[in-house]
A and B are shown apart, each in its own frame.
Chain A
């Protein structure tokens, strides 16, 4: 389905990542947002608040992040495409509702513009230290999809992708920006509406008496309904059966929790989003994401200039982790260098998949700015030895 032109600001713009992300939500068809102010992500909903009254929709500023992150889910069940935005402490507060969205299979988008932590940390400065929290922060086992744009243009493009994935898989999608990407201003091209492919909500075609809210299709994802359409359905965060009724026994728990995780398996394999360069002859592969991927690319250029066979693997869909692609590289390269603005998070995933077949070298940084490319270069040089 093509995008609804009302939300598409076709043209060439000079936008920062936060504003581009907002345009992505509008182009994707989001007509409801709930937010609570926090640096450095508030700009996303500030723009939404400014834009939505003339597009036709609702923005509400809620009393806290707990409220914002559940109000969007009420809106989704009411029939809207909806999202919320936060950073740092707000992301911690939203954890319970990421779990609720995963458990109730509510398609929605959480935007997290990462800043330095822990606690209040560095409100205005970048980090990438919420990556593990994105995957594991809510209690229990569950599945989410996390995307990492590295430019304002991608903040626009990938936000649409994020909404599409949310609908296709009935899953919360986490847009994992960082302060640098969120606040950096670059050219952003927004195409005509008819050039934007939007995944519509997969509403059931069954009549109410035959419909079961959690009966998965072959792709393990169940169809949706919305309130007010006569289905008289029930949604609960309790372990539930295919009807949506609480069913707290070992068999239902096993069946439903496994499905929540397994339905996203394609992202470990063929559906994984990543970008590679110079991998053909690479001995050292730099694995990075978000703003760090740009700095890493600079380091790769410097390494190549020295004659080192370095290549780039940029993670775009960070969760589920792109196992298959890293696995294929692990057998033939000497080392992975993993720079990230944290003290070592995604590097553990690289190491898990590499399973000892290649060296895995973290290049840590506590956040507050980006890496100096020289530091990454040194790690590449070291790894190539």
Chain B
């Protein structure tokens, strides 16, 4: 699959597994999909005080510029992360939120907003710590940037064997939630277009 350069930023609190989420997405592209991915963590003063942020660039060509300037996809798991990185989202970009942790009054114009209660879904699996992988699953379903299979393999490859099953469940849960949401939205869109017709 040829793709345009996609710039993704993932941000949240320290401890939410922001970096691992970015690694999984990058690995899915670079190793299990055959394209190129470049992942960088944000260090520096902004990485202190409990916040965490990572950038992933996906491309079918070698990646030259390593940082995200304007994100095509912004995944936020904290209000602060949204406040900070929201303005960097490209017009027409995708905003993905942990909906219980991030309140969005009004999505920027032209931005598609998708929310998921990832923490709650993770808690249903008995381990709140896998919310990042729920987010990855959800990301996969709503963006369509990567095949579910590549992402699943990347999840399995990125966690210790003892936690593989749990993480794959988390991925599936997020992916399923995202898929259902997309079906619902398509129905709504169809309804809207029928009405307007």
Residues on A lying within 8 angstroms of B by beta carbon are: 12-14, 39-40, 122, 124-125, 179-180, 183-187, 291, 294-295, 297-298, 301, 369-370, 373
Cβ–Cβ < 8 Å partners of A180 in chain B: 40, 66
A356 CB to nearest chain B CB (Å): 32
Is B12's CB within 8 Å of the partner chain A?
Answer: no
Given known pairs A124-B44, A125-B43, the reply for A185 and B26 (CB within 8 Å) is yes
Cβ–Cβ < 8 Å partners of A373 in chain B: 65
- Are B37 and A295 in contact, with the CB atoms below 8 A? no
Query: Digit string of B52-69 for contact with A (CB within 8 Å is 1, else 0)?
Result: 000000000001111100
- Are B27 and A124 in contact, with the CB atoms below 8 A? no
Given known pairs A186-B36, A187-B37, the reply for A14 and B27 (CB within 8 Å) is yes
Most central of B38, B39, B65 by chain A CB within 10 Å: B65
Cβ–Cβ < 8 Å partners of A186 in chain B: 26, 30, 36-39, 63
Is B104's CB within 8 Å of the partner chain A?
Answer: no
B53 CB to nearest chain A CB (Å): 13
Within 8 A of A (CB), among B11-59: 23, 26-27, 30-31, 36-41, 43-44, 47
Residue of B nearest to A185 (CB): B39
Given known pairs A180-B66, A185-B26, the reply for A12 and B31 (CB within 8 Å) is yes
Given known pairs A125-B44, A184-B40, the reply for A370 and B66 (CB within 8 Å) is yes
A85 CB to nearest chain B CB (Å): 17
Cβ–Cβ < 8 Å partners of A370 in chain B: 65-67
Residue of B nearest to A294 (CB): B64
Report the bound CA distance from A122 to B46 in whole Å. Answer: 13
Report the bound CA distance from A295 to B67 in whole Å. Answer: 10
- Are A14 and B36 in contact, with the CB atoms below 8 A? no
Cβ–Cβ < 8 Å partners of A183 in chain B: 40-41, 43
- Are A185 and B31 in contact, with the CB atoms below 8 A? no
Q: Which secondary structure characterizes the binding site on chain B?
A: mixed
Q: In the complex, how many residue pairs between chain A and chain B have their CB atoms under 8 Å apart?
A: 59
Residue of B nearest to A11 (CB): B31
Cβ–Cβ < 8 Å partners of B38 in chain A: 184-186
Given known pairs A14-B30, A124-B47, A125-B43, the reply for A184 and B66 (CB within 8 Å) is yes
Most central of A14, A122, A184, A295 by chain B CB within 10 Å: A14
Most central of B26, B43, B47, B63 by chain A CB within 10 Å: B43
Report the bound CA distance from A298 to B23 in whole Å. Answer: 24
Within 8 A of A (CB), among B111-133: none
Residue of B nearest to A293 (CB): B64
- Are B64 and A295 in contact, with the CB atoms below 8 A? yes
Report the bound CA distance from A185 to B20 in whole Å. Answer: 12
Residue of A nearest to B46 (CB): A124
Q: Which single member of A12, A124, A294 contacts B66 (CB below 8 Å)?
A: A294
- Are B43 and A184 in contact, with the CB atoms below 8 A? no
Report the bound CA distance from A92 to B23 in whole Å. Answer: 33
Cβ–Cβ < 8 Å partners of B23 in chain A: 14, 185
- Are A187 and B64 in contact, with the CB atoms below 8 A? no
Given A13-B31, A39-B43, A184-B39, 12 more contacts at CB 8 Å?
Answer: A14-B31, A14-B39, A180-B40, A183-B40, A184-B38, A184-B66, A185-B26, A185-B38, A185-B40, A186-B63, A187-B30, A301-B64
Cβ–Cβ < 8 Å partners of B37 in chain A: 14, 186-187
- Are B26 and A40 in contact, with the CB atoms below 8 A? no
Most central of A13, A187, A298 by chain B CB within 10 Å: A187
Cβ–Cβ < 8 Å partners of B64 in chain A: 294-295, 297-298, 301
Cβ–Cβ < 8 Å partners of B41 in chain A: 183
Report the bound CA distance from A183 to B40 in whole Å. Answer: 6
B58 CB to nearest chain A CB (Å): 11
B48 CB to nearest chain A CB (Å): 10
Given known pairs A14-B26, A40-B43, the reply for A187 and B36 (CB within 8 Å) is yes
A288 CB to nearest chain B CB (Å): 12
Q: Which single member of B27, B39, B67 contacts A369 (CB below 8 Å)?
A: B67
B90 CB to nearest chain A CB (Å): 17
Report the bound CA distance from A369 to B66 in whole Å. Answer: 10
Residue of B nearest to A296 (CB): B64
Cβ–Cβ < 8 Å partners of B31 in chain A: 12-14, 187
Residue of B nearest to A14 (CB): B27
Report the bound CA distance from A13 to B43 in whole Å. Answer: 22
Report the bound CA distance from A298 to B26 in whole Å. Answer: 21
Report the bound CA distance from A13 to B39 in whole Å. Answer: 13
Query: Digit string of B66-95 for contact with A (CB within 8 Å is 1, else 0)?
Result: 110000000000000000000000000000
Query: Digit string of B120-161 for contact with A (CB within 8 Å is 1, else 0)?
Result: 000000000000000000000000000000000000000000
Cβ–Cβ < 8 Å partners of B67 in chain A: 369-370
Residue of B nearest to A179 (CB): B43
Can you list 12 A-B contacts (CB < 8 A)?
A39-B43, A122-B44, A125-B44, A185-B39, A185-B40, A186-B39, A187-B36, A291-B66, A294-B63, A294-B65, A295-B64, A297-B64
